Structure 1
Amino acid sequence: MPLKDVLAAMIVIMVWGANFVVIKFGIDEFPPMLLGALRFFFVAFPAIFFVPRPAVHWRYVVAYGATICLGQFVFLFLAIYLGMPAGLASLVLQAQAFFTVAIAALVLHEAIRAHHVLGMGLAVVGLVMLDAGADSTAVPLVGFLLTLLAAFSWAGGNIVLKSAGQVRMLSMVVWGALLPPIPFLLLSAAFEGPDRIVDSLAHFSWRGVGVVFYLSGVATLVGYVLWGRLLARHPVARVAPLSLLIPVVGLLCADWILGERLGLWQWLGGAVVLIGLMVNLFGARWAAGLRQRLQRT
């Protein structure tokens, strides 16, 4: 992977890792479905008047909006609202990496090689160790299941992007964001009520403004544009596991900002995740080098 793509991946990891703390702040300012509507409204507008429509069939744009934009964040926002800790949400959501690789193997017939399996296995061990240190944090079952559904929606969106081929990601993100606001508003009106919507919009704070700006401008426009470009340039099995670094950042941010303290097992788990990622990314190169040395001897 070229250096510029590695740097792009690191930006995405940092932005999305901090995103979970921002979502937690946002849920305190707005009801979750209204927050989703605001997020994607400001992704689409006013950018839609300046960004050309993506040069792909409409079904890809609709599928992208329905999976990565709508499905993922309906489930994730609701999970955090119902008590899923922000740091652990960043951890559980990375099940998308496993869902993505599995769906890509079934749908796109991408190969899963031995070093991918080993790297992902190490990452799973690391993620379990990360979770083992969170004994002081209650994890509601419904929040956990909703976060898994969010992960599956994200994985579906990854496959949509890969299937669409070369596409201008800024166009895909902006035009895909046209779909979610109305369903989010309908869900908000049905379950949160018009009075709560009006009250939230009439009494928003500057922190609320900052939350919506970060979620729409930074986490969505910057994050998903860079992520989509990485998926277009590299095999899914190489890109998707990079997201396993996100919970390391997410747990650190939750520790520093929200007081969700990390235990020894979580620190050790983060190290194991890093080792798993290195095996996944560089395993083929290491194996080739080892074979060459064995042949020389």
Structure 2
Amino acid sequence: MNRNDLCWCGSGLKYKKCHLDFDDRIDSYKYDVFKSQCKPPHNIILTPADIEGIRKSGVVNDAALDLAGTMVEPGQNTEAIDTAVKEFIEKNGGIPACLNYEGFPKSICISINEVVCHGIPSKKTILKEGDIVNIDITTILDGYYADASRMFIVGGKTSPEAEKLVRVAKECMELGIEAVKPWGWLGDVGAAVNAHAKANGYSVVTELGGHGVGKDFHVEPFVPHVGQPGTGMLLVPGMVFTVEPMINAGKYKVTVDKKDGWTVRTKDGSLSAQWEKTILVTETGTEVLSS
């Protein structure tokens, strides 16, 4: 762009007064193709107005997760949780993003025990004491998406092995977020996650990962939870994406249910746990926009 052109970000300011220095810093890096290092495209660097929109959507999304958590108890069917969350999001001016997304039939995902993700709520699926449950909710509010998931232990007690998996999975997410640094590299996230999972005897699902989020459900970058430090996309302020490692007690391989086309399970039948937050890369670190 020419210095006196209007900036690509839509601020209305001239380029030299807005993102010129920012782009110069991005261009100052020497990108190593052997490390798959690459620049972030302009369209995933969000404006303050966009970020505020995601932040407001995150408030509704977090409250929906709070509501879902109160309903996790022995004897509860998962469709009742789905219905309550849908009504709550709509009452607060939002749209449940999962409903009819590429044919998904429900408003949220509820994944139990060996189900890794994309579990479909059903009246026939009854929560039992000791189950470990992931509830994943994405809300659209005024055109902006916020995405997060949490683990719950039905009845508050489970086996020591399951309790450890839930705890370590959360630690993996937190370490992944800690690894996000402005002007750092995306591969640092996966490296931190995988190291902690392996140190505890667990594996990390590689076929699925985090993703950019904002004005759409899934945008760049894809966020792998296995990686090498110093590789991948350059992380810069204004990027928003999810960190959501799926940690298996057994091996990392998964299968997709042939009947419903959605439910992902561990191939070896082992337990799986996942936590997810939507985060913003800031000038000094990160800000959680939905958790």
Same fold (TM over 0.5): no
Structure with higher RCO (Cα < 8 A, 6+ apart): 1
Output the TM-score relative to the length of structure 1: 0.28
- Choose between structure 1 and 2: higher strand proportion: 2
